[in-house]
Homo-oligomer: A and B are copies of this chain.
Amino acid sequence: MAPRVFGDDDVRRLLDAETAVAAVRRALLAHHDGTLHAPPRVFAELGDGPLAFTAGELADAGLFGFRAYDMFAGAEQLVAVWERTEGTLRAVVHGAELGPRRTGAIGAVALDAAARPGPLRLGLVGAGIQAWAQLWACAAVRELADITVHARRQDRAAAFAERARAELDLPVRAVPVAADAVRDRDAVILATSSATPVIEADWIGPGTHVTALGPKTRDRHELPDGLAERASVVLTDSRAQSAAFEEPFLDPASMTELGAVLAGAAPGRSGPADITLFSSVGLAGTEVAVAAALYESEG
């Protein structure tokens, strides 16, 4: 039997946000209960840099696979999924679309678990692929009442807002000042590659949930100092991966795993005035889970 092959157009057309979010939620729970095997990345060094592999096995679903990507050519990524009992290669997903959407789905699960109940006023810093995928996924878990977006380049924020209105029918407005994108928000998503903080800690009001996707080492971090200290809980999708940074900006020992909160095994938000923080590291194995959901949704 030949594997199903999905390119970027297929992913855009076939993967709906609800499916991606549900697949990632199951994987986060499986990670918590020990049935998701997701070892550290491994690298094979070629002439100008490594090929990286993040593997994962979803034991309960009887699936395993990996994502492969190079760190020297910027080539298409590859996600492969096998069905274990039969030993068949079921799906090959290639291109750039699956990765950000799975990261978006992780962010949506965190947002849904940690943000205050009800419709959310959402602020985005960053207007790139990752910000887009967060918005796409978060709209599947909550009503987004009012959305602000800020980017260093105003034209990109404006284009992002226009695309969101057109494609997702969401009320997004671009704001030229970063503080205006994050003040008076129920949830804030930082989706930049910035090596220096893109907001100030006191712009974040009580009750806000913050998701951070960008750099988070001591030398390079988009989060400001002082915010984690104000948060009642700092969540991550993988404490082990958080601890694998050479010099993490946030202390992994102080973090709670999102899967534990989903399972009811650890507390998340305790009240409406809490600040909650989610440090997203991209739990390994979730690419395999989303790729599996993609081919399963296709019969």
The answer to whether A87 and B82 touch across the interface, beta carbons within 8 angstroms, is no
The answer to whether A87 and B92 touch across the interface, beta carbons within 8 angstroms, is no
Taking CB atoms, residues of chain B closer than 8 Å to A80 are 68, 78, 80
A interface: dominant SS = strand
The answer to whether A92 and B44 touch across the interface, beta carbons within 8 angstroms, is no
Knowing A44-B42, A55-B46, A92-B92 are in contact, say whether A87-B66 is a contact too (CB < 8 A).
no
Taking CB atoms, residues of chain B closer than 8 Å to A42 are 42-44, 53
Interface: A202 (CB within 8 A): no
In the complex, what distance in Å separates the CA atom of A43 from the CA atom of B53?
9
Interface: A118 (CB within 8 A): no
In the complex, what distance in Å separates the CA atom of A262 from the CA atom of B169?
64
Knowing A2-B5, A74-B87, A88-B76 are in contact, say whether A64-B46 is a contact too (CB < 8 A).
yes
The answer to whether B84 and A75 touch across the interface, beta carbons within 8 angstroms, is yes
Shortest C-beta distance, A121 to chain B (Å), equals 39
In the complex, what distance in Å separates the CA atom of A94 from the CA atom of B89?
7
Interface: A3 (CB within 8 A): yes
Number of A residues contacting the other chain (C-beta, 8 Å)?
36
In the complex, what distance in Å separates the CA atom of A179 from the CA atom of B124?
76
Interface: A7 (CB within 8 A): yes
Interface: A45 (CB within 8 A): yes
Taking CB atoms, residues of chain B closer than 8 Å to A89 are 75-76, 78, 94
The one of B46, B53, B54 in contact with A57, judged by C-beta atoms closer than 8 angstroms, is: B46
The one of B59, B66, B74 in contact with A68, judged by C-beta atoms closer than 8 angstroms, is: B66
Taking CB atoms, residues of chain B closer than 8 Å to A46 are 37, 39, 55-57, 64
Interface: A22 (CB within 8 A): no
* Interface of chain A residues 23 through 55 with chain B (CB within 8 A): 37, 39, 42-47, 51, 53-55
Top 4 closest pairs, chain A to chain B, by CB: A75-B87, A44-B55, A46-B57, A42-B42
Taking CB atoms, residues of chain B closer than 8 Å to A186 are none
The answer to whether A45 and B51 touch across the interface, beta carbons within 8 angstroms, is no
* Interface of chain A residues 79 through 105 with chain B (CB within 8 A): 80, 82, 84, 87-89, 92, 94
Interface: A222 (CB within 8 A): no
The answer to whether B70 and A76 touch across the interface, beta carbons within 8 angstroms, is no
Taking CB atoms, residues of chain B closer than 8 Å to A56 are 46
Other than A3-B92, A37-B47, give 20 A-B pairs with Cβ distance below 8 A: A2-B5, A2-B7, A3-B94, A5-B5, A37-B46, A39-B45, A39-B46, A42-B43, A51-B53, A51-B55, A68-B80, A70-B82, A73-B87, A74-B87, A75-B82, A75-B84, A75-B88, A76-B88, A76-B89, A80-B80
